[in-house]
Structure 1
Amino acid sequence: MTTTTLETVELTKSFGGVHAVDGASVSFRPGRINALIGPNGSGKTTFFNCVTGMIKPDSGSVTYRGHDITGKAPHRIARAGIGRSFQLCRVFPRMTVLENMLVSVRSGSLVGRLAPARQRGDIARARELLARVGIDHLERAEARDLSYGQQKLLELAGVLMTDPETIMLDEPAGGVNPALIDRIGGLVRSLNGEGRTFIVVEHNMDMVMSLSDHVVVFDRGRPIAEGTPAEVQEDPRVLEAYLGV
C-alpha cells in the first residue's frame, strides 16, 4: 500500500524573475484531508496548477499513485483520478445547473457534450450529486442566477461527476457565507469517509484546523513545515511566515 497519494520532487515554476514555486518537494497522504496553507503569494495556487496540468513546471516531477504525471494535459490527469476546483468558480453562467453538470463529463463542443450525455445515464447521476450538495431544486436555473456559495457547490458536484479518487479544492470557503462553509466542510468529511483523498488550499484557518488532519505550510514557493493542525500552529517557522516575527 502506498504511503503517499501525490508527491512532488523539486517542483519549480518561475514567471520572469519571480519563483512562484521554488523546488517544492511535498508528499500528501492517501485517504486524508490534507491542507495546503501559507501567506498570500506563497505559491499555493501555482503549485495546484502545475500538479493538475494547467501550467507546465519548469523542472521537477509530479507523481500520482506511483505514476509520473509531470506536465501531462489536464484531461489526462483527470482520467488518472484527480479532480479539482478553482479559486474563482468555473461555471458556464448562461447554462443551467444541470447542463453544467453534464458538460463536466463530456468532451468536444458544448453541443456534443450535451446530446450524448442524455443517452448514458449521466442525467440521473447529475441529479443525485446535485441532491447530495443540496442544490437539486436549482437544476433548471442558470448558473449565473446562483449565489456564489451555490456556484461553489455546483463546481464541487461537477468535480464529483468524474468520480475522482483525489479532490483538490482551491479556497472552497472563499466568498462563501458561514452556513455554506459548514455545508462544504460536512461534504468534504462525508466524501473523505467514503475513501476520497482531499488536498485543500484555504485561507479560512478555522475551517482548515477543524477539517484537516495533515497540514503542509508554504512560504515563498516551497514547504516550510508540515504536521497535524496542532503541530503547525505551534511551529515557529509558521508564525514567522504569517506574522513576520
Structure 2
Amino acid sequence: MTAMQITGDNLSTVEMTKRFGGVTAVNGATVTFQHGKVNGLIGPNGSGKTTFFNCVTGMIKPDSGVVTYRGRTIMGKPPHTIARAGIGRSFQLCRIFPRMTVLENLLVAVRTTRLSALMSGSRNPAETERARGWLRRVGIDHLEHTEARNLSYGQQKLLELAGVLMGDPETIMLDEPAGGVNPALIGRIATLVRELNAEGKTFIGTAHGLVDSWG
C-alpha cells in the first residue's frame, strides 16, 4: 500500500493495527485511497486484506491507529453508522439470503423495508422499481424470481454488489470480487466498476495479485 496526500474526501488509515493473540494481521497500516478512483489492495492469502476491510467498516475494532473518512474519524463506529456515512462493501464469501429470491434480497438491503412486511408480500413500489433497475444494471434482472441459492457463484457476486448499490454508497469496498468467478462474469464486474467509477463512485478492491486484478 502506498501512502498519498490526505484530503477531506479520502478514506485514510494511520498506523492502523489489529492483532489476534500473537498474530498481527494488520501492522501499522498507513494508507490513503484516492477519492473518485478505482483503488487496489493487493496481497497473497493471509496478508490481512480482509482484516483491513473489517477494521475500516466496523466489523471488528482495530487495536490502535486512526481511520478517517471525508475528514471524520470512523474508527470504532458500528457498521451501520459507517454505511450511512457513505461506505458500502461486499465480502470475500457472499453474504446473501439463499432461500429468498433475487429481488427480495435487494429489498431487504433497503433500511426502510422490514423483513416481516416483505415476507407478507408488502412492497414499496418505488423501492421495488429501484431494485429492478440495479438488477438490470448488473445483468441478472431475468433472475429476479429465482432463489439466490440457485444462482452461480458469479451471479451471487453480482447480486451482492447490487445489494451494496441499493444503499447508494459513495465508496464501495469489494473483497476479492473476482475470486471464484468465471472470466465472462469477471469481465462484467470489471465493466460495471469502470462505469460506476465514471459516474463518481470510488472503489477499493482486493486481489491476490496483478494477474487476477479486476479493475
TM-score by length of 2: 0.92
Q: Deviations over 1:9-58 (max 9, x none)?
A: 11111000000011111100001000000122111100000000000111
List aligned pairs for 1:83-122, cutoff 5 A.
83-106=88-111, 110-112=115-117, 118-119=123-124, 121-122=126-127
User: What's the RMSD between the two structures over aligned residues?
Assistant: 2.0
- Alpha carbons of structure 1 residues 121 and 186: separation in structure 2 relative to 1, 3 Å: same
- Alpha carbons of structure 1 residues 117 and 8: separation in structure 2 relative to 1, 3 Å: farther
1:114 Cα shift?
A: 6.0
Deviates more, 1:104-113 or 1:193-202: 104-113
CA contact (8 A) 1:6 1:62 kept: yes
2:44 to 39, 42, 52: 39
Is the counterpart of residue 24 in structure 1 residue 29 in structure 2?
yes
Deviates more, 1:120-129 or 1:155-164: 120-129
Q: Which residue of 2 aligns with 1:146?
A: 151
1:194 Cα shift?
A: 0.2
- Alpha carbons of structure 1 residues 116 and 68: separation in structure 2 relative to 1, 3 Å: farther
CA contact (8 A) 1:93 1:143 kept: yes
Unaligned 5+ segments in structure 1 are: 212-245
1:204 Cα shift?
A: 5.4
Is the counterpart of residue 174 in structure 1 residue 179 in structure 2?
yes
Equivalences, count: 210
CA contact (8 A) 2:39 2:203 kept: yes
1:205 Cα shift?
A: 2.3
1:25 match: secondary structure? strand
Q: Deviations over 1:178-235 (max 9, x none)?
A: 0000000000000000010000001252352x72xxxxxxxxxxxxxxxxxxxxxxxx
The amino acid that maps onto 1:193 is A
Is the counterpart of residue 52 in structure 1 residue 52 in structure 2?
no
| Cα distance in 1 for residues equivalent to 2:112 and 2:129 | 19
| Cα distance in 2 for residues equivalent to 1:64 and 1:4 | 7
| Cα distance in 2 for residues equivalent to 1:108 and 1:122 | 9
Q: Identical aligned pairs, as a percentage?
A: 70
1:120 Cα shift?
A: 5.8
| Cα distance in 1 for residues equivalent to 2:110 and 2:121 | 10
Q: Deviations over 1:106-131 (max 9, x none)?
A: 26863156679723611000000000
Unaligned 5+ segments in structure 2 are: 1-5
Is the counterpart of residue 163 in structure 1 residue 168 in structure 2?
yes
- Runs of 4+ residues deviating >4 angstroms: 112-117
| Cα distance in 1 for residues equivalent to 2:208 and 2:144 | 30
CA contact (8 A) 2:42 2:209 kept: no
CA contact (8 A) 1:82 1:164 kept: yes
| Cα distance in 2 for residues equivalent to 1:204 and 1:141 | 34
Q: Deviations over 1:111-168 (max 9, x none)?
A: 1566797236110000000000000000000000000000000000000001000000
Q: Which residue of 2 aligns with 1:214?
A: none
2:134 match: secondary structure? helix
| Cα distance in 2 for residues equivalent to 1:61 and 1:109 | 34
| Cα distance in 1 for residues equivalent to 2:116 and 2:35 | 37
| Cα distance in 2 for residues equivalent to 1:199 and 1:117 | 35
